[in-house]
Amino acid sequence: MFHGSMVALITPMDASGAVDDRALRDLVEWHIAEGTHAIVAVGTTGESATLTVKEHVAVIRSVVQQVHGRIPVIAGTGANATAEAIELTRAAMEAQADAALLVSPYYNKPTQEGLFQHYSAITDACHFPIILYNVPGRTSGDILPETVARLAKRPNVVGVKEASGKVDRVAEILHLCAIHDASIEVFSGDDGAALAAMAIGARGVISVTANVAPRAMAQMMYAALENDFVLARRINDALVPLHRDLFAESNPIPAKWLLADMQRVGPTIRLPLTPLSESLHVRLRSALQYASSAPLSPAS
The full length of the chain comes to 300
SS3 assignment, position 131: strand
Please state, in angstroms and rounded to a whole number, the distance separating the CA atoms of residues 159 and 186: 6
Q: Residue 1 has what pLDDT?
A: 80
Active-site residue list: 133, 161
DSSP 95: T
Burial of 38 (C-beta count, 10 Å sphere; 0-12/13-18/19+): buried
Distances (CA, A) of 292 to 113, 142, 216, 288: 46, 36, 9, 7
Q: Cα–chain-centroid distance for residue 202?
A: 14
Vertex 208 angle, CA 205 and 209, to 5°: 90
Report helix angle 214-225 to 229-245, nearest 10.
Answer: 140
Q: Kindly report, residue by residue over 9-19, the tens digit of the pLDDT.
A: 999 999 999 99
pLDDT 10s per residue in the chain (300 long)? 899 999 999 999 999 999 999 999 999 999 999 999 999 999 999 999 999 999 999 999 999 999 999 999 999 999 999 999 999 999 999 999 999 999 999 999 999 999 999 999 999 999 999 999 999 999 999 999 999 999 999 999 999 999 998 999 999 999 999 999 999 999 999 999 999 999 999 999 999 999 999 999 999 999 999 999 999 999 999 999 999 999 999 999 999 999 999 999 999 999 999 999 999 999 999 999 999 999 998 865
Task: For the chain, give every domain's residue range.
Answer: 4-233
Residues 6 or more apart whose CB falls under 8 angstroms from that of 281 comprise 257, 261
Distances (CA, A) of 298 to 172, 208, 210: 37, 22, 16
Vertex 193 angle, CA 103 and 149, to 5°: 45
Strands 157-162 and 4-8: unpaired
Architecture of domain 4-233: Alpha-Beta Barrel (3.20)
Please state, in angstroms and rounded to a whole number, the distance separating the CA atoms of residues 230 and 195: 11
Vertex 253 angle, CA 251 and 258, to 5°: 115
The CB density around residue 140, as the number of other CB atoms within 10 Å, is 13
